[in-house]
């Protein structure tokens, strides 16, 4: 795990958010379950600039506490699944 990924996980820990929390996504009748940890790890495979954007957005989401964090990961999960559907990333 790189330094930015560790910062993301530490940020969640400081906010008392379980990094193993999961969100279910229904895609064409098939349920896909992604954990916060999985999403962080997957986004840390992106470019350095994208990793910094992810960290900054997560920091902003923590400012509105749990609701912001949940919405942040819902959006990130949707992005991962859309990317997966376009066959550009392996889930």
Who has greater pLDDT, 33 or 90? Answer: 33
Question: Could you tell me the pTM of the whole model?
Answer: 0.85
Say what the pLDDT of residue 84 is: 73
Q: Quick one: average pLDDT of 44-55? A: 94
Query: Where are the chain's structural domains?
Result: 3-85
pLDDT digits (tens, 9 = 90+) for 50-68: 999 999 999 999 998 767 9
Say what the pLDDT of residue 67 is: 79
SS3 per-residue string spanning 7-67: HHHHHHHHCCCCCCCEEEEEECCEEEEEEHHHHHHHHCCCCHHHHHHHHHHHHHHHHCHHH
């Amino acid at each position: 795990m790189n330094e930015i990924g560790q910062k993301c996980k530490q940020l969640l820990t400081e906010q008392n958010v379980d990094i193993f929390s999961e969100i279910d996504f229904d895609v064409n009748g098939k349920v896909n379950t992604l954990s916060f940890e999985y999403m962080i790890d997957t986004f840390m495979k992106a470019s350095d600039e994208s990793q910094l954007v992810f960290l900054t957005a997560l920091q902003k989401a923590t400012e509105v506490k749990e609701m912001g964090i949940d919405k942040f990961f819902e959006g990130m999960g949707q992005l991962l699944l859309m990317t997966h559907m376009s066959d550009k990333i392996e889930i």
